[in-house]
Structure 1
């Protein structure tokens, strides 16, 4: 005999709902989520109280009903129905905004609680195909609405925008592992609940835009910290929120992040396709910095695919696009797209093409800008690219010197990408065997990893 679901009973009693009222709300919520076939009644509610677990998506719908009632997120876990389908739901580009809000809120709660099911969820290699297609079709079909501009009159929207700048600078200067869970908790407590409220159209779009920016940043910080399955899910939900805000440049920016991740994880063909989808999405708007980033990331993918001519062309297109960017005219989320970043990524492109001269030139230009800005993470990654360019010329002494600078800067940030750049440098030094410089570098790298 099943044990009664005490947790579910607690929330039902606390809400002051009758079984019939809960059943009616479940049906109404199911319709809003695009699931009109779902039907329930008081008998089913009684079975749930007695310990029966309903099939998906009913647990998620129940969580949505209670969340709406209380004004904060109540999850399937809270209701005694386990972790629900949070990991899978966050991989879906939902047609319903309500379902999107529940998916990203569940993801945020699980992230903060460090739920095991989320940490062990795999990165889904082809998961970006559907979301990028759906976003692109929606974006290209949208007609500009002169009255739809986000006037940002709502104090909460302005506050979210301001917090974005704070957390973005934390990521840029301290690495994605610094402050990400604080940001996730802030989103769960203050931002996602706002999306459940009724607003005028312009305020709703403004909220979706602000939430998309912050959700993207959560994904990017998780990506930089090596938590790729979590990052992927945040990025997909950020893309959906960007679509709801009708800001195609923001959506293209999210696709750039997805492209970067796909290429890093060994799927450059997917990375290239996502970058191209982002460029298509910019056809009805203008963001020179975002376009420069998308060309830059396409070049990275093309280099790994071995297409030297196309990769070099993409680098040129990236540089031309950035020349059109006007300081102060780009959105806050594009702040990191600057010479330090672009030259650093171009250095990696030419590194992968085996062009040591071009890689060194771009790495040095990136380092110069990063040093002025005191950006340790970007400096570390560009110093690593410089070291590799020296190794490609068989200059171990110069590579070792750049490698030491890489280690020093990596120790200043919480970034798995910077650590991975060190590990890549170790692998590339291995052909030099037991040389004393290699042995010393490996010993210092081990100390960094331990720390």
Structure 2
């Protein structure tokens, strides 16, 4: 190793530390007692044939045409994500939107493979590799919904590294190969979603983008559209609404007229939410109406992973859109439909805070306080940065958190999340 590092340094025309010092440094790096600086990380990357962090961040921001390189990138990304390496701290934006969209929409499989996608349901394939992967990811997705992305990420990364990557690299042909790639895309989708929920935005976008390549290899246009819709959702959350709109429309284009009703509804609602944030009330309302009509045409021919997108979930998306349009009464109408006895805790907390904000805008501070306090109960124990952002957004919308009606809410926030309050906002005794 020392010889190889010195040879590469000589080739680059740079000097490095002495052999003895380098041996000591290598020992420290290998045992995680220290980390190499940028110069030595790049040198080690060349010698070991590993992707260099900065180059890796750039390469994974576009669509990877080579599926083997996409799998390798997912392997590295998951490992570095698990080790919490600051790979993307200097990344600007999420991904190169135009290159991701064009790369996926005009990819090889879409161009020449017009066959029916491999099955995306667990039913009838529990004993297959793809079926076992889907059973595992379904269970982990339930934890994500109920406890937040921070709770599930470690287990999900471990599972992907040890159980999914080896299967993606195994030799298979035909439907079996496509089924495994489709199941792998579902795991990549959940990896991205859990990272997004935990606040790791650039990492999440890379999972979504690399997952697109697996979906394409599986000829799974439904999952491809879902991944583009996820990127739209993510762009909405960071305030880049034009990019959110572009991704949502790309998701609909990816379906090529063969989407199921639920999947197409999801994609159209991402467009509606982007339009709402762009304050285009007419276009947003038309998109909402289109989504509701699509949803009414649902059948049993849906992939298992879209099962969560029921009437309540659609109502939650519509409530968000009307909130962003500033139509508080319509938003409240849909939040009532979005809350059911089976609503997952994280979703419940989100909707309660949306409803609380709309109640506040309608001038009912007592109702707003009650709903927001209820959201604190739903959100207890969640490991979700998105939940904290909803909570902070509500706090910022309250003119005076020391209002008597807000007493219980402010006391709980002061105890659990003191950093969400600005100086002087804590209630006076």
TM-score range relative to shorter protein: 0.7 to 0.9
Q: Residue in 2 aligned with 1:354?
A: 326
Q: CA deviation at 1:204?
A: 1.9
Q: Residue in 2 aligned with 1:209?
A: 182
Q: Which of these residues, 359, 366, 378, is aligned with residue 409 of structure 1? A: 378
Q: Residue in 1 aligned with 2:267?
A: 294
Q: Residue in 2 aligned with 1:98?
A: 68
Distance 1:54 1:413, change over 3 A: closer
Do 1:152 and 1:203's aligned partners in 2 also have CA atoms closer than 8 Å?
Answer: no
Q: TM-score, normalised by structure 2?
A: 0.82
Q: CA deviation at 1:433?
A: 6.2
Do 2:133 and 2:183's aligned partners in 1 also have CA atoms closer than 8 Å?
Answer: yes
Do 1:390 and 1:396's aligned partners in 2 also have CA atoms closer than 8 Å?
Answer: yes
Q: Residue in 2 aligned with 1:172?
A: 145
Q: What is the number of equivalent residue pairs in this alignment?
A: 391
Do 1:128 and 1:258's aligned partners in 2 also have CA atoms closer than 8 Å?
Answer: no
Distance 1:55 1:426, change over 3 A: closer
Q: CA deviation at 1:244?
A: 1.4
Q: CA deviation at 1:109?
A: 0.6
Q: CA deviation at 1:56?
A: 8.3
Q: Which of these residues, 247, 255, 278, is aligned with residue 220 of structure 2? A: 247
Provide the rounded CA distance (Å) in 2 between the counterparts of 1:358 and 1:313: 15
Q: Which of these residues, 332, 335, 340, is aligned with residue 304 of structure 2? A: 332
Q: Which of these residues, 336, 357, 361, is aligned with residue 364 of structure 1? A: 336
State the SS of the aligned residue for 1:177: helix
Provide the rounded CA distance (Å) in 2 between the counterparts of 1:411 and 1:90: 35
Distance 1:189 1:379, change over 3 A: same
Q: Residue in 2 aligned with 1:218?
A: 191
Q: Residue in 1 aligned with 2:417?
A: 449
Do 1:173 and 1:374's aligned partners in 2 also have CA atoms closer than 8 Å?
Answer: no
Q: Residue in 1 aligned with 2:358?
A: 389
Do 1:219 and 1:232's aligned partners in 2 also have CA atoms closer than 8 Å?
Answer: yes
Distance 1:202 1:55, change over 3 A: farther
Do 2:271 and 2:287's aligned partners in 1 also have CA atoms closer than 8 Å?
Answer: yes
Provide the rounded CA distance (Å) in 2 between the counterparts of 1:374 and 1:176: 17
Q: Residue in 1 aligned with 2:387?
A: 418
Provide the rounded CA distance (Å) in 2 between the counterparts of 1:440 and 1:449: 14
Residue 237 of structure 2 corresponds to residue 237 of structure 1: no
State the SS of the aligned residue for 1:122: coil
Do 1:380 and 1:410's aligned partners in 2 also have CA atoms closer than 8 Å?
Answer: yes
Provide the rounded CA distance (Å) in 2 between the counterparts of 1:448 and 1:101: 40
Specify every segment of 5 or more residues in structure 2 that has no aligned partner in the other structure, as ranges: 13-18, 23-38, 420-429
- Cα deviation, 1:243-279, whole Å, max 9, x if unaligned, reads 1111111100011100000011011111111110111
Distance 1:358 1:148, change over 3 A: closer
Provide the rounded CA distance (Å) in 2 between the counterparts of 1:201 and 1:334: 25
Distance 1:148 1:207, change over 3 A: closer
Provide the rounded CA distance (Å) in 2 between the counterparts of 1:155 and 1:148: 13
Do 2:359 and 2:367's aligned partners in 1 also have CA atoms closer than 8 Å?
Answer: yes
Q: Residue in 2 aligned with 1:144?
A: 114
* Residue range with higher mean Cα deviation, 340-349 or 122-131: 122-131
Distance 1:61 1:137, change over 3 A: farther
Q: Which of these residues, 236, 247, 264, is aligned with residue 263 of structure 1? A: 236
State the SS of the aligned residue for 2:146: helix
Do 2:62 and 2:95's aligned partners in 1 also have CA atoms closer than 8 Å?
Answer: no
State the SS of the aligned residue for 2:150: coil
Provide the rounded CA distance (Å) in 1 between the counterparts of 2:165 and 2:332: 44
Q: CA deviation at 1:153?
A: 9.2
Q: Residue in 2 aligned with 1:35?
A: none
What CA RMSD, in Å, does the superposition of the two structures yield over aligned residues? Answer: 3.2
Provide the rounded CA distance (Å) in 2 between the counterparts of 1:147 and 1:291: 17
- Cα deviation, 1:319-366, whole Å, max 9, x if unaligned, reads 11111122x432122122112221112111111111111100101111
Distance 1:146 1:225, change over 3 A: closer
Distance 1:58 1:288, change over 3 A: farther
Q: Which of these residues, 119, 131, 136, is aligned with residue 163 of structure 1? A: 136
Q: TM-score, normalised by structure 1?
A: 0.79
Provide the rounded CA distance (Å) in 2 between the counterparts of 1:217 and 1:3: 40
